[in-house]
Amino acid sequence: MNADFQSWARDCQSRLETFLESQLAKTDREPARLHSAMRYSVLGGGKRVRPLFSFAAGALNGADAERITVVGAAVELIHAYSLVHDDMPCMDDDVLRRGKPTCHVEYDEATALLTGDSLQSLSFQLLAEHQVADSAQVQLAMIKQLAQASGSRGMAGGQAVDLDSVGKALTLPELEFMHIHKTGALIRAAVMLGAQCGNRLNEEQLTQLDHFSKCVGLAFQVVDDVLDSEATTATLGKTAGKDADNDKPTYVSILGVNQARELAESLRRDAFQSLESFGDAAARLRQVTDFIIQREF
Amino acid sequence: MNADFQSWARDCQSRLETFLESQLAKTDREPARLHSAMRYSVLGGGKRVRPLFSFAAGALNGADAERITVVGAAVELIHAYSLVHDDMPCMDDDVLRRGKPTCHVEYDEATALLTGDSLQSLSFQLLAEHQVADSAQVQLAMIKQLAQASGSRGMAGGQAVDLDSVGKALTLPELEFMHIHKTGALIRAAVMLGAQCGNRLNEEQLTQLDHFSKCVGLAFQVVDDVLDSEATTATLGKTAGKDADNDKPTYVSILGVNQARELAESLRRDAFQSLESFGDAAARLRQVTDFIIQREF
């Protein structure tokens, strides 16, 4: 990872953190416990991968940094809410997230439920109240895209398939279907919304970008599975080996570690091909892709 | 309740039901169990009080029925999601809703969690993808209002205060604060969004309407508490006496039944006063108010 990318990523992350901090209610505002849990679940942790994709996509067409910050924050709030709910006892029942106790452990289950609910509302609030596109019409289209990516035909739907898959022998296409929704939909939204903050891209460019984001979304999950199978809880910051313990199918359990790594590599090549026509403008998108694919490889 | 109102309300409810049915994914679409649970939790039940307020507010300024149907559906989806989550074991732990087993009983807790999450996403999706106002700018403002009414400074925040109040001796102002958020915020959104579907109201009219909706939101809760203290489970369609059993403060526990009834009546008078300048155009709003206040009195 080169110094230029690191410095750019730190700048994006810092903008995002400052904005999120300013938009989450302070802990002295009632209901204080809920507001405290919301801040706990969002601030000071995570690699902010999805916002980085928004910033990188915005670099394709000179989008304004303030607009992308709002979009990145909206996507990250959806991601944060999904983690809070996903960790709850009736879902994955996990106690550790980003090296800290999960929300329902630090607070309580009811607060965790309301925290996730409120973070989702806040995401749409931000996207509606700040100008993120040249026209209000485009902004409405962006809200629609994020809502679709979050709902039953997107992220939440992928989680439902995931739950249903425990103890089942999924085929590779079935596993792919699950992850395209569970992880892929939101990464795709992060890329596509980031790109819509600036000058309009043409249809062909949007199609290529869409294909890029699908490849990257899947690659992200494949890498996650490899890391989960190899890492220790300490380096991962969340409970390691959880999926295998839960008898959940993963890319590693179906393909083995080596083939899973190869799949990630081939998805990376496919993703990069989709960016060719953008030339140097896509440099940041390539860097963020390498950042997530080469994490610990 | 006169026949004209009944016929109007049935027409509104039927429009709403048809629209919701068309917007919820069919149960043969994957993930089928989640889509089935979403339909189960939304369709075929409830008085649709909030959408009725939207329709009645839209009647103030000749708003298009199709637009109000979308707004009413968006508000009702937020309400439906909140019921699904509120009934879960970590919250109110209720097994009966609208005379049927609650979502987590009929399906399972994880599915109920994802059902609520997905219904919230769908609400914002509908409000972003259908034209509900003359300008996209107004539409963005409406999305912002619904998001605020749903989040930590609105409905979800009220639920957090509610949870925190179990076993505590609340004062009347504290109880009011809770209900203004828990129930009032969404009723207020239903009224204000309905009014924004049509021709613009001036600032003074919006202020009066806002005051009306606050009074009505509180009155609705006071009546709920009276009904809960008097009704049987069979007539209520949900577990009766639940709040008293849970040692939750209610208007009845603080004021007694008679004074609670008087409070509802005084809120009704206050609400009607705010409508005076609208004249006959506010007839539907008065009728819906009487419909919810006089329910079983």
A54-63, A121-130, A227-236 — which is least confidently predicted? A227-236
Which of B36, B77, B85, B113 has the most A C-beta neighbours within 10 Å, making it the best mutation to test the interface with A?
A: B113
Token pair listed for B260: 């609670």
Kindly report the number of other CB atoms within 10 A of residue A215's CB atom: 21
pLDDT at residue A189, as a whole number: 98
Q: What is the 3-state secondary structure (H, E, C) of chain A?
A: CCHHHHHHHHHHHHHHHHHHHHHCCCCCCCCHHHHHHHHHHHCCCCCCHHHHHHHHHHCCCCCCHHHHHHHHHHHHHHHHHHHHHHCCCCCCCCCEECCEECHHHHCCHHHHHHHHHHHHHHHHHHHHHCCCCCCHHHHHHHHHHHHHHHCCCCHHHHHHHHHHHCCCCCCHHHHHHHHHHHHHHHHHHHHHHHHCCCCCCCHHHHHHHHHHHHHHHHHHHHHHHHHHHHCCHHHHCCCCCHHHHCCCCCHHHHHCHHHHHHHHHHHHHHHHHHCHHHHHHHHHHHHHHHHHHCCCC
CA B285/CA B56 separation, integer angstroms? 5
DSSP category for residue B10: H
Beta strands A100-101 and A96-97 are antiparallel
Which of A40, A111, A115, A120 has the most B C-beta neighbours within 10 Å, making it the best mutation to test the interface with B?
A: A120
pLDDT at residue A297, as a whole number: 47
DSSP category for residue B279: G
User: Mean pLDDT over all residues of chain B?
Assistant: 92
CA B283/CA B169 separation, integer angstroms? 39
Kindly report the number of other CB atoms within 10 A of residue B157's CB atom: 26
pLDDT (tens digit, 9 = 90+) per residue, B7-35? Answer: 999 999 999 999 999 999 999 999 999 99
Which of B75, B109, B117 has the most A C-beta neighbours within 10 Å, making it the best mutation to test the interface with A?
A: B117
Residue A15: pLDDT over 50: yes
Token pair listed for A193: 């919304």
Residue numbers in A near B148 (CB within 8 A): 121, 125
CA A65/CA A244 separation, integer angstroms? 41
CA A39/CA A26 separation, integer angstroms? 8
pLDDT at residue B245, as a whole number: 60
A52-66, A245-259, B154-168 — which is least confidently predicted? A245-259
pLDDT band of B200, cuts 50, 70, 90: confident
DSSP category for residue B91: T
pLDDT at residue A88, as a whole number: 98
CA B140/CA B24 separation, integer angstroms? 23
Among candidate residues A278, A223, A214, the one with its CA nearest the CA of residue A250: A223
B106-120, B159-173, B271-285 — which is least confidently predicted? B159-173
pLDDT band of A246, cuts 50, 70, 90: low
- Angstrom CA distances, B90 to A246, B175, B285, B289, stand at 23, 22, 36, 33
pLDDT at residue B140, as a whole number: 98
Among candidate residues A93, A136, A115, A138, the one with its CA nearest the CA of residue A43: A115
Give Dmax (Cα) for chain A: 51
Residue A296: pLDDT over 70: no
pLDDT (tens digit, 9 = 90+) per residue, A17-39? Answer: 999 999 999 999 999 999 999 99
Mean pLDDT in residue range A41-59: 94
Proportion of chain B above pLDDT 90, given as a percent: 78
Does A136 contact B141 at a Cβ distance shorter than 8 Å?
A: no
Burial of A137 (C-beta count, 10 Å sphere; 0-12/13-18/19+): middle
Does A148 contact B125 at a Cβ distance shorter than 8 Å?
A: yes
Amino acid at B211: H
- Contact by Cβ (8 Å): A152, B25: yes
pLDDT (tens digit, 9 = 90+) per residue, B47-77? Answer: 899 999 999 999 999 899 999 999 999 999 9
CA A128/CA B144 separation, integer angstroms? 5
Residue of chain B whose alpha carbon sits nearest to that of A24:
B152
CATH architecture assigned to A3-293: Orthogonal Bundle (1.10)
Distance from CA of A84 to the nearest CA of B (A): 11
Closest partner residue to A144 (CB to CB) among B38, B125, B152 is: B125
Kind and range of the H or E element at B22?
helix B3-23
CA A163/CA A171 separation, integer angstroms? 16
A108-122, B150-164, B283-297 — which is least confidently predicted? B283-297
Residue A190: pLDDT over 90: yes
Q: What is the pTM of this model?
A: 0.95
pLDDT band of A261, cuts 50, 70, 90: very high
Distance from CA of A174 to the nearest CA of B (A): 12
Mean pLDDT in residue range A194-217: 94
pLDDT (tens digit, 9 = 90+) per residue, B89-146? Answer: 999 999 999 889 999 999 999 999 999 999 999 999 999 999 999 999 999 999 999 9
- Structure-token match 């004062």, residue found: B171
Closest partner residue to A143 (CB to CB) among B25, B31, B128 is: B128
Distance from CA of A40 to the nearest CA of B (A): 14
Residue numbers in A near B25 (CB within 8 A): 152-153
Among candidate residues A248, A186, A173, A172, the one with its CA nearest the CA of residue A216: A186
Residue B238: pLDDT over 80: no
CA B61/CA B198 separation, integer angstroms? 6
CA B115/CA A85 separation, integer angstroms? 12
Residues with Cβ within 8 Å of A10's Cβ and at least 6 positions away in sequence, in order, are none
Mean pLDDT in residue range B162-181: 88
Output A234-238 pairs: Cβ under 8 A, ≥24 positions apart.
A235/A296, A237/A96, A237/A97, A237/A98, A237/A99, A238/A94, A238/A96, A238/A97, A238/A98, A238/A99
Does A117 contact B120 at a Cβ distance shorter than 8 Å?
A: yes
Among candidate residues B263, B265, B293, B273, the one with its CA nearest the CA of residue B53: B293
pLDDT at residue A25, as a whole number: 98
Does B153 contact A25 at a Cβ distance shorter than 8 Å?
A: yes
CA B186/CA B48 separation, integer angstroms? 12
Provide the CATH number for the domain formed by B3-291 in this structure. Answer: 1.10.600.10
Kindly report the number of other CB atoms within 10 A of residue B202's CB atom: 8
Amino acid at A275: L
CA B74/CA B51 separation, integer angstroms? 9
Residue of chain B whose alpha carbon sits nearest to that of A29:
B153
pLDDT at residue B237, as a whole number: 61
Residue B297: pLDDT over 50: no
Vertex A26 angle, CA A24 and A32, to 5°: 110
Token pair listed for B183: 């129930």
Question: What sign results for the dihedral spanned by CA atoms A182, A185, A189, A192?
Answer: positive
Residue that wins the pLDDT comparison between A98 and B75: B75
Write down the ipTM of this complex: 0.94
Amino acid at A114: L
- Structure-token match 């390691």, residue found: A240
Token pair listed for A97: 């997230």
Residue of chain A whose alpha carbon sits nearest to that of B139:
A140
CA A83/CA A45 separation, integer angstroms? 12
